[in-house]
A and B are shown apart, each in its own frame.
Chain A
Amino acid sequence: MALDTRTERRPSFAGLLWHSTVGKKTAMAVSGVVMLLYLVAHMMGNLKIFFGPDELNGYGHWLRTVGEPFLHHEWFLWIARVVLLAAVLTHAVAAFQLSRRDIKARPSKYVHKKARTSYATRTMRWGGVILALFIVWHILDLTTLTVNPRAEAGHPYQNLIASFDRWPVTTLYIVAMLALGLHVRHGFWSAAQTLGVGSAARDRVLKTVANLLALVLTAGFVAVPVAVVTGAVS
C-alpha cells in the first residue's frame, strides 16, 4: 500500500464541487448569499415608496443609468438580472437534486415519531417552493407587468399601488415574505456552516445575525403592501 501512487487526474474545481453533496451544498450557500445581499438592497429600495412617487420612480430610473457612461443604458440592470437568474437557477437545481437524494437516503420512517428540529429547518423545502412560485409571479407582476392591473412602464409607484391595493394580492405577498423570513433564518446560519465559517465561539453571533436579518427583511418587505392596502400610501 505504501508504494501505491495516485495517478488518475482529479476533476476540475467546479466539477468536483457540483458532483459531491458537500460541494453542491456550497453552490447552494454561495447562491443563497448572493440572493440575500440582493434582497437587502431591494428592500431598502422599496422603502422609498414612503417618500412619494417621485422618489421611487426616480430611483427606478436611476437604476437604469448606473455605471454610465462606462456602461450603456440599462446594462447594469441586465448584469444584475443575469447574476440573479444564475443564482436562482443554481440554488433551485441544487436544492431539488439534494432533496431528492436526501429523501432516497431515508426510505423508511420510524414507527415511533418524534417532534424534530425547528420549524424554520423543517420548512426549508416547501418554503423554497413557495419562494420559487412567488419569484415568478412577482416578476410577471412588477417587472414585465404582464399580470399588473395598471402596467405603465416607467411608473413603478403607480403599478405597485395598483397591484397591492387588492387584499388577496397583499395577503399572498405577506405569506411569501414570512416564508422568506423563515428561509433566511435557517439559511443564513446554514450557509455559514456550509462555507466553513461557523464555530462554537461564533454561534451566538451568527444566530443573532440570522434572526435579525430575517426580521428586518420580512418587516421591510411587508411594510410596503401593508401601507398600500391600509391607505397609508396611495
Chain B
Amino acid sequence: MKLTLRVWRQRDADADGGMTTYDVDGISPDMSFLEMLDTLNEELILKGDDPVAFDHDCREGICGACSLVINGEAHGPERTTTCQLHMRSFRDGDTIDVEPWRAAAFPVVRDLVVDRSAFDRIIQSGGYITAPTGAAPEAHATPVPKPDADTAFEHAECIGCGACVAACPNGSAMLFTSAKVNHLNVLPQGAPEREARVLDMVGRMDDEGFGGCTLAGECATACPKGIPLFSITRMNREYVRAARKSRR
C-alpha cells in the first residue's frame, strides 16, 4: 500500500505545531498502525530527519499507552486501540491525518505525545482501596454477588488511554473517572471509601482542567474497551448520594 500521511509535528510543549505531509510506500495491510509509523520513522531516520514521536508500549491493546487521533477519530476507525488497528482498515492511496489527543488537561509534549499524568493524579485521589498488605486474603472471605462482580469487571476494563477525553467536545474525563469510580464502588472492598472516592476523584478531575459532561456520547463511541455512557449516569448517582451522606 502507498499512503499519504499528514502528521502533527511539534518540537516541544511551547513550540507551535503544524501538519507535515509524508508519503509512505510498501505498507502491508497486515501491519498495525504503529508498525506503519515505525516504517515512516525508519525512513525519516535514514534521511537524517527527526522521527515522529508517539506513545506505545504493549502493542496488544491492554496497557493504554498508545493514542492518536486518526482522521478525526480517537484510535481511528475501528473500535480498538491504535496498536491493534490494522492497515487493512484503510485503502491504498488514502490520505490519513494523524493528530495528538487534544485537551487542555493533556498538553502536547512532542509531536503526537501528550502528557496524561492528570489521569494518574485522578487515580491517586481515590482510585484505590485501603487494605492491609501481606499475605493474600482468603478468596471466599468476602462474597461478591455475581451482578456486582460483572459490573466491576466491565468498568475495570478501562485501560486509561484517554481516548474518551480526546473525543469529547468538552475535553471531559467523565468516562474515565466513572469507570474507575464504579469499578471500586460496587465492590465490598471499595465500600469504606465509597463516598470519599467519588467526591475526591471528581474534585481532582475538575481541578485538572477537564471539562464537564454534556452527554454528547462521543467518549463511549471512541472507547476501545466499550465502557458504556451509562457509567457516567451511575457515577452521577454515586456523586449526589455521597454529597448527601458526607454532610455533617
Contact = CB atoms under 8 A, between A and B. Distances in A.
Interface in A1-26: 1-2, 6, 9-10, 12-13, 16-17, 20-26
B76 to A, nearest CB: 11
A156 B57 CA distance: 70
A213 interface: no
Interface in A203-220: 203
Given A105-B105, A190-B215, A22 B170 contact: no
Nearest to B200: A6
B218 A102 contact: no
A101 interface: yes
A21 B173 CA distance: 11
Interface string A100-113: 01111111111111
B129 to A, nearest CB: 11
B170 A25 contact: no
A198 interface: yes
Interface in B93-150: 97, 99, 102-105, 130, 132
Residue with the greatest number of chain A CB neighbours at <10 A, chosen from B99, B206, B218: B206
A193 interface: yes
Interface string B68-79: 010111000000
Interface residues of B, number: 54
Given A20-B203, A102-B214, A196 B234 contact: yes
Given A22-B236, A111-B8, A105 B210 contact: yes
Given A13-B247, A105-B103, A109-B102, A193 B233 contact: yes
B209 A24 contact: no
7 contacts: A9-B248, A22-B235, A103-B211, A106-B103, A109-B102, A193-B233, A196-B233
Interface of B: 6, 8, 19, 69, 71-73, 97, 99, 102-105, 130, 132, 168-172, 174, 196, 199, 202-203, 205-206, 209-218, 228-230, 232-240, 243-244, 246-248
Given A102-B171, A190-B214, A190-B215, 10 more contacts: A16-B199, A16-B247, A17-B243, A20-B202, A22-B235, A105-B209, A108-B102, A117-B218, A124-B214, A192-B233
Interface of A: 1-2, 6, 9-10, 12-13, 16-17, 20-26, 98, 101-114, 116-117, 121, 124, 186, 189-190, 192-200, 203
6 smallest A-B Cβ distances: which pairs?
A196-B237, A105-B211, A21-B212, A102-B170, A105-B171, A114-B72
